[in-house]
Chains A and B, each alone.
Chain A
Amino acid sequence: NAGVTQTPKFQVLKTGQSMTLQCAQDMNHNSMYWYRQDPGMGLRLIYYSASEGTTDKGEVPNGYNVSRLNKREFSLRLESAAPSQTSVYFCASIRRPGQVNTEAFFGQGTRLTVV
């Protein structure tokens, strides 16, 4: 199994440009998450989707939108990129949050630079 796949792995944007980060999981997990990781800040939750058809804001949602396209796919969109959004973005999924299979599986990350 591929697990959690993120595309692209690297991206450079100019300020004001838009882009969508893609995430897909093949483990039939219910919940999916987008985090950003900045030096000294750890991982901060941007948005999450508890189940297909639902999305909720996390700790740092401003400047982002998400779409849970189906059970497999959860995309993150930057409508007008800003230098403050330069970061490494991670997608994660969990089979059954709060129950037995509750560990998160992570993608390899997307390193985004906004100039």
Chain B
Amino acid sequence: SQQGEEDPQALSIQEGENATMNCSYKTSINNLQWYRQNSGRGLVHLILIRSNEREKHSGRLRVTLDTSKKSSSLLITASRAADTASYFCATDLLGAGSYQLTFGKGTKLSVIP
């Protein structure tokens, strides 16, 4: 079963507004990552937050992590039409000699010019 679940499934905002997406997961993690996927393309890594971090910034992106609630949020500030894409959270499962990265179903963001 999938580890992460994003919420909402779809989000439509006006250019300039902020967009917030949430991710909930089930088991303990080492880190949580956010990826972006433009239509018809592969996923591109955006930002990684480790389990001992609570907040991280990268440009217009802000990620928070609450390990007690097993949840994370991705905030995109001052959105642009070019931010239109699907966003996925990914969590790791670190086992003996192996490493699985599992993805949620994604949030489809539409930024209207």
Binding site for B on A (CB under 8 A): 4, 31, 33, 35, 40-45, 48, 50, 54, 56, 58-59, 90, 92, 94, 97-98, 102-109
Contacts and interface: CB of A to CB of B under 8 A. Distances in A.
A102 to B, nearest CB: 7
A61 B42 CA distance: 21
Contact of B42 (A97, A102, A107): A107
24 contacts: A41-B105, A43-B103, A44-B2, A48-B98, A54-B97, A59-B2, A90-B43, A92-B43, A94-B99, A94-B101, A97-B101, A98-B30, A98-B92, A102-B31, A102-B33, A102-B48, A103-B45, A104-B35, A104-B90, A104-B101, A106-B43, A106-B44, A109-B40, A109-B42
Contacts of A97: 92, 94, 99, 101
Interface of B: 1-2, 30-31, 33, 35, 40-45, 48, 88, 90, 92, 94, 97-106
Contact of B103 (A31, A35, A50, A107): A35
Prevailing SS type, chain B contact patch: strand
Given A42-B104, A103-B45, 6 more contacts: A56-B98, A59-B1, A90-B43, A92-B43, A97-B94, A98-B30
Interface centre among B30, B45, B98, B101 (most CB of A within 10 A): B101
A102 B98 contact: no
